Amino acid sequence: MLRLDNVAMRYGGGPEVLHDLNLTLERGEFVFLMGPTGAGKSSLLRLLGLLHMPARGEYTLFERNVASLGRDELTAARRRIGIVFQDARLLDHLSAYDNVALPLRINGAEDGQIGGFVMEMLAWLGLSAAVEVKPPNLSMGQRQLIAVARAVIIRPNLLLCDEPTSNLDSKLARRLMHLFTQLRKLGTTVVLATHSDDLVDRYRHPVLRIADGQLRGPLPAPAALAAAE
């Protein structure tokens, strides 16, 4: 479903921040992405999420070389991807409800069709009381949950999460991990960037290690944790 062959990435005319990336992920696969701060985790997620094009090499997503995609095809491919940004990136002028409903509306869904769906998602995340609240009036944890809800509500084929549990208590973090696991069972490929050894140890999904813009793995979780030590 996703394959990188000797892919490199750079911002503008700057140096390569990622290079010689080789990776294959199948449908329904779940991997953690680990590495020190500044190693390139967020850049890799941007590349996988089609927010940045490879400077060289070949990135194949949904059976298509992304370099060959036209503007409309890129848009269509992005609609199959859910991204949870590290800083949540909620729209402060919209309510929690409207933030979560955003991808559905962009996909052309009518308001009448999505109400129940969005409310159900917010209720499941314990945010029923915050439906009309705007992000500046929510806690960091609540903002993070809304960002996750927004990413998964379209039931994406590829889910990219940048530290989604970093602002959550352990109970909520477990709940989110349960949600991701359920999505994986439905066929979503999940890439979750984290600094948390505990999370990796608990869920035992394979680990991609990134350092100095280069990727290793997927490694089995114990080996990856041992290598980190």
Partner 1 sequence: MTGSPALNLDRLDLPLDQIAVGRFLPWIIAALVYVAVLALAVAAVADHALRLYHLRAQLVTVTLPPAEDAAQSSREIAAALEMLQQTRGVTSAQSVPPEELEELLKPFLGEVGNGQELPMPQLIDVTLDPLVPPDLAALEGRLQQIAAGATIGAEALSRNRAERMATFFRAWGGGAGVAILIGALLAVGLITKVSLQAQLQVIELLRSMGAPDAYLARQFERYALSCGLRGGLLGFALAALTIVGLLYSSRRMELAGPIHLDLALLDWGLLACVPAVCALLVTAIARMTAMRGLAQLP
Distance (Å, rounded) from C-alpha 186 to C-alpha 216?
Answer: 27
Angle, vertex CA 81, rays to CA 17 and CA 111, nearest 5: 140
Work out which of 6, 22, 24, 107 binds partner 1, going by CB under 8 A. Answer: 107
Q: Between 71 and 171, whose beta carbon lies closer to partner 1?
A: 71
Distance (Å, rounded) from C-alpha 95 to C-alpha 102?
Answer: 11
Q: Closest approach of Cβ 73 to partner 1, in Å?
A: 11
Work out which of 35, 40, 49, 217 binds partner 1, going by CB under 8 A. Answer: 49
Contact status, residue 7 vs residue 59, Cβ threshold 8 Å: yes
Cβ neighbour number for residue 156 with a 10 Å cutoff: 20
Q: Closest approach of Cβ 106 to partner 1, in Å?
A: 5
Work out which of 51, 55, 131, 133 binds partner 1, going by CB under 8 A. Answer: 51
Q: Does 110 bind partner 1 (CB under 8 A)?
A: yes
| Count of residues engaged in binding partner 1, rule: CB under 8 A | 33
Contact status, residue 32 vs residue 194, Cβ threshold 8 Å: yes
Q: Per-residue string for binding with partner 1, 127-156, x by CB under 8 A?
A: -----------------------x---x--
Angle, vertex CA 154, rays to CA 149 and CA 156, nearest 5: 100
Q: Between 154 and 179, whose beta carbon lies closer to partner 1?
A: 154
Q: Between 111 and 169, whose beta carbon lies closer to partner 1?
A: 111
Selection from 147, 155, 69, 61 nearest residue 107 by Cα: 155
DSSP character at residue 129: G
Residue type, 87: D
Q: Between 79 and 184, whose beta carbon lies closer to partner 1?
A: 79
Contact range with partner 1 by CB under 8 A, out of 20-28, 33-41, 107-115, 134-142: 107-115
DSSP character at residue 39: S
Q: Does 201 bind partner 1 (CB under 8 A)?
A: no
Two tokens, residue 65: 């070389």
Report 52-91 residues binding partner 1 (CB under 8 A).
52-53, 71-72, 75-76, 78-81, 83, 85, 89, 91
Q: Please, what is the end-to-end C-alpha distance for the chain in angstroms?
A: 32
- The residue ranges that bind partner 1 (CB under 8 A) are 49-53, 71-72, 75-76, 78-81, 83, 85, 89, 91-94, 98, 102-111, 150, 154
